[in-house]
Structure 1
């Protein structure tokens, strides 16, 4: 059956269940299919078993059914490997800190690097740094002849006033409170060093807050409103992006790599108000939100460069709010893995 491309006419009123959500979220855009057709070679995703990697692998396979799509991970979570295989994605078990195992991976010309550590690293800070700097060095050497699109974070940026339009890629990454952000600066610089050394084309994806029914900023705010918990406002403005739009953009960056590797902000174009979103959920639930604190400077980034290159996301904020409100109110499954967007200490 011929694959249909994502369009607003396909938007559901709500999602019946997880299978319906994942099927819709992994629908490719026409632009992704066109880019994958023009891209030389197959695709490997390192660190594929995370919240976004599985749908990323699936959307690429749907956009490019004749390409090999290989997902690499330790696959510590039961069922994730089988999930990928049923969609035609090949899987390889590998510890990215094992240099011999990484060197033994097939040398696929297109690599998306999603591995890393952010949460719950207290007491194992050495592992945090190893995953965020040593593993990238091992991969960058092993795949010196490939294109590498590597995930980064907005936590390499300073606080800014969202009224000033958001931080752009011209702002150099900096040390912020907490070892996580510092280690990701190390990740970026490691990939850039090897990109320059070996002339490896690449991109560093400074991504902000995917929206999925099961996790993310909107799911958290909706749950706080429904449970009548206080909603912190200090980080009162956020960038958000529907996960389906995000993974389409991530894959398309393989066609837009630079040598040496350069950063790009990927996220929605709007400055989204936490207070406004909570109020919208409150109206849907018939509950007055409870707020604490006042808005301050925040990690708000400017995504104009990505919009010029890849276009704006297809799913708008109001639609995401409607979908999340129904999902949360119905008590459908969630991951239980908060984004901690409101945390300002740098320790997640």
Structure 2
């Protein structure tokens, strides 16, 4: 951290991938849970957190660590991934049985507001939607909205990468765009041939190989 930014309140983007897989019956990881990153991507994200935490303590720089998963919009995200696969007639892998998602605009608004939380030691904030939704159900909703059928492959595991963002919702409220509305918008976008960014989330990965 250069001298220009020492002491300046900062929001550090991170990810819920720093947490371990959680049993579906236990709910998502909270900010009080210890990180247990799986794979190089998650490990590198935790390393980023550690660098900024060091800066916070060394130069008294207030920091918020913003752990986001999974942001969705029309061209990117878990829902767009599923809709694109369905449109192509590809089977949906349900081995990763459930996800949390949030509309990108809401996640961005929370990130901007979270600068007010910045502190030393850093304030950790999970950011995602309030629902834990099954991948099978998401795909079923999408297929219905797209007027097509969906096929599945794999068997649902008993755990998933899940985050509890209730602290964020307590501070800033629930997302302004509900998940079912996101599903409808993405389904329509993909059905009408809307452009995709071509950057798959690879949320199905259970061994951290992104």
- TM-score, normalized by the shorter chain, greater than 0.5: yes
Work out which structure has the larger RCO, using CA pairs closer than 8 Å and 6 or more positions apart in sequence.
2
Kindly indicate whether the alpha-carbon contact (under 8 Å) linking 1:174 and 1:185 is maintained by their aligned counterparts in 2.
no
SS of the residue aligned with 1:300?
A: coil
User: For 1:184-333, what aligned pairs fall within 5 Å after superposition?
Assistant: 184-296=45-157, 297-333=159-195
SS of the residue aligned with 1:344?
A: coil
So what's the TM-score if we normalise by structure 1?
A: 0.58
Q: How many residues align?
A: 209
Q: Take 1:218 and 1:169, find their aligned partners in 2: how far apart are those partners?
A: 25
Counterpart position of 1:91: none
- How many angstroms does 1:142 deviate by? 4.4
1:334 aligns to 2:196 (yes or no)? yes
User: For 1:1-348, what aligned pairs fall within 5 Å after superposition?
Assistant: 138=1, 142-176=4-38, 178-296=39-157, 297-348=159-210
Q: Take 1:320 and 1:285, find their aligned partners in 2: how far apart are those partners?
A: 13
Q: Take 2:37 and 2:73, find their aligned partners in 1: how far apart are those partners?
A: 30
Q: Deviations over 1:261-295 (max 9, x none)?
A: 12110010100211111111111223221111122
- How many angstroms does 1:198 deviate by? 1.6
Q: Take 1:147 and 1:214, find their aligned partners in 2: how far apart are those partners?
A: 31
Q: Take 2:22 and 2:146, find their aligned partners in 1: how far apart are those partners?
A: 32
Counterpart position of 1:9: none
* Superposition CA RMSD, Å: 1.3
Q: Take 2:29 and 2:201, find their aligned partners in 1: how far apart are those partners?
A: 20
Q: Take 2:103 and 2:131, find their aligned partners in 1: how far apart are those partners?
A: 13
Kindly indicate whether the alpha-carbon contact (under 8 Å) linking 1:192 and 1:262 is maintained by their aligned counterparts in 2.
no
Greater Rg over alpha carbons, structure: 1
Structure 1 stretches lacking a partner, 5+ long: 1-137
Counterpart position of 1:122: none
Kindly indicate whether the alpha-carbon contact (under 8 Å) linking 2:9 and 2:63 is maintained by their aligned counterparts in 1.
yes
SS of the residue aligned with 2:67?
A: strand
Residues 175 and 323 of structure 1, relative CA distance in 2, 3 Å threshold: closer
Runs of 4+ deviating beyond 6 Å:
none
- How many angstroms does 1:255 deviate by? 1.4
- How many angstroms does 1:345 deviate by? 2.3
Structure 2 stretches lacking a partner, 5+ long: none
Q: Deviations over 1:89-109 (max 9, x none)?
A: xxxxxxxxxxxxxxxxxxxxx
Q: Deviations over 1:16-59 (max 9, x none)?
A: xxxxxxxxxxxxxxxxxxxxxxxxxxxxxxxxxxxxxxxxxxxx
So what's the TM-score if we normalise by structure 2?
A: 0.95
Kindly indicate whether the alpha-carbon contact (under 8 Å) linking 1:237 and 1:271 is maintained by their aligned counterparts in 2.
yes
